[in-house]
Amino acid sequence: MKKEASLNTTAICKTRIGAIKDTMEILSGKWKIHILGTLMQSEKMRFMDLLREVDGIAAKMLSKELQDMEMNHLIRRTVLDTKPITVEYEVTEYGKTLERIIDEIAQWGIEYRKSIYEMSK
């Protein structure tokens, strides 16, 4: 018989855990935060520029991640009337609400790397 949850049973806890779960689902994977962080450093970027900047990502994976983020309104895709066709990506106002969180993740990563370096001395 499965034990019932005892910690996350209040309405506030369920709402909070649900929100965390939703956020993690939207930002899950190895690349989304990296792509968003890169786009936040620039006004707009073309696909090939992103491919060069996001070290190690394959074109197919970048395309998939960009589609997911566009579907979730984090980025905007603009097709320019050029020959050949050029596509630009930029962070939406809604996506910019993640900037503080991404900055905190980056800061945490910097501190983590420092602590690992110190421990390895």
Residue 25 lies inside a defined structural domain of this protein: no
Q: What is the DSSP letter of 121?
A: -
Residue 11 lies inside a defined structural domain of this protein: no
- pLDDT tens per residue across all 121 residues of the chain: 777 766 667 788 889 889 999 999 999 999 999 999 999 999 899 999 999 999 999 999 999 999 999 999 999 999 999 999 999 999 999 999 999 999 999 999 999 999 998 888 7
The pTM assigned to this predicted structure is 0.84
Residue 7 lies inside a defined structural domain of this protein: no
Residue 22 lies inside a defined structural domain of this protein: no
Domain holding 67, by residue range, is: 30-119
Domain count, the chain: 1
Residue 72 lies inside a defined structural domain of this protein: yes
Identify the CATH number of the domain in which residue 104 sits: 1.10.10.10
Residue 6 lies inside a defined structural domain of this protein: no
Query: For residues 55 and 31, what is the distance between their CA atoms, to the nearest angstrom?
Result: 10
Q: Virtual CA dihedral for 62, 63, 66, 72, nearest 10 degrees? A: -130
